[in-house]
Amino acid sequence: MIEFKCVSKKYPSGTLALNKIDLHISKGEFAFIVGPSGSGKSTLLKLILKEEDVTEGEIYVNGFNITTLKPKEVPYLRRSIGVVFQDFRLLPKKTVYENVEFAMHITGALPKEMRRQVPMALGLVGLSKKADAYPDELSGGEQQRVALARALVNRPSLLIADEPTGNLDPETSWEIMKLIDEINHRGTTVIVATHEKGIVDSMKKRVIAIRKGEIIRDQQKGQYQDETENREIYT
């Protein structure tokens, strides 16, 4: 599903964002990526999405060798990946239904497919009755559910969530994470980058900790912070 082989990323400024990363995430896994700001989490996600190019090494995602992927092939990679962001990124002048439908429209889906898939995606996140509402009429949690539906409507094999609960209250955060967990149980591979210690510790999923561009810990059913680690590095 995802494999990093001795991957490094160095920016023109000289900043070494990732240093010789080796990582394998299998189909159907749920993995948290944790670490302080500037640790390399965002760079890792951008490499998976082919938003950045590696400096050294190779990356394989969903059968694509994205290290050598041509620009015209990038859309095919991204169709197999759903992405959820902290700030929702909904289109304010489109309804809930239209926001989700738009994700299918840009992939060239047929109207018949949209009429089938969009209601299914909204039903999955519990927003069937909000289809005609606009983003500014929704709570933060509802907006994030729309973002989830949009990410899932093309039935991706991989879901990436970058701080999906960063703008939500604790109760709503749990609702979103339970939904993401359910999506994982349905077979979708899930990667979540987060600073939410309570959520990571309670869910007992795989935890990959990054610091200064290197993986310092990779544990099945891990915690946000290992007892041997400095408590200050994740604040």
DSSP assignments along 23-78, one per residue: EEE-TT-EEEEE--TTSSHHHHHHHHTTSS--SEEEEEETTEETTS--GGGHHHHH
Q: Is residue 141 part of a domain?
A: yes
Q: Is residue 179 part of a domain?
A: no
pTM for this structure?
0.91
Q: Is residue 224 part of a domain?
A: no
What is d(CA 120, CA 11) in angstroms, rounded to the nearest whole number?
42
Q: Are 18 and 213 in contact (CB under 8 A)?
A: yes
The reported pLDDT for the residue numbered 229 is 61
Q: Is residue 209 part of a domain?
A: no
Maximum CA extent, the chain: 55
The total number of structural domains in the chain stands at 1
The reported pLDDT for the residue numbered 228 is 60
Helix, strand, coil percentages, rounded to 5, for the chain: 35, 25, 40
Per-residue pLDDT tens over the stretch 12-25: 999 999 999 999 99
Per-residue pLDDT tens over the stretch 178-195: 999 999 999 999 999 999
Q: Is residue 104 scored above 60 in pLDDT?
A: yes
SS3 of residue 80 by DSSP: coil
The band of 230, judged by pLDDT with boundaries at 50, 70 and 90, is low
Q: Is residue 148 part of a domain?
A: yes
Per-residue pLDDT tens over the stretch 30-86: 999 999 988 999 999 999 999 999 999 999 999 899 999 998 999 889 889 999 988
What is d(CA 146, CA 92) in angstroms, rounded to the nearest whole number?
12
Q: Is residue 18 part of a domain?
A: no
Q: Is residue 135 part of a domain?
A: yes
For 167-192, the DSSP string reads TS-HHHHHHHHHHHHHHHHTT-EEEE
Per-residue pLDDT tens over the stretch 120-163: 999 999 999 999 999 999 999 999 999 999 999 999 999 999 99
Q: Is residue 1 scored above 90 in pLDDT?
A: no
Q: Is residue 176 part of a domain?
A: no
In terms of residue numbers, what domain contains 134?
93-155
Strand 2-10 relative to strand 16-25, pairing: antiparallel
Query: How many CB atoms neighbour CB 94 within 10 A?
Result: 14
The band of 232, judged by pLDDT with boundaries at 50, 70 and 90, is very low
What is d(CA 147, CA 34) in angstroms, rounded to the nearest whole number?
22
CA distances from residue 104 to 46, 117, 152, 153 in whole angstroms, order as listed: 22, 9, 10, 7
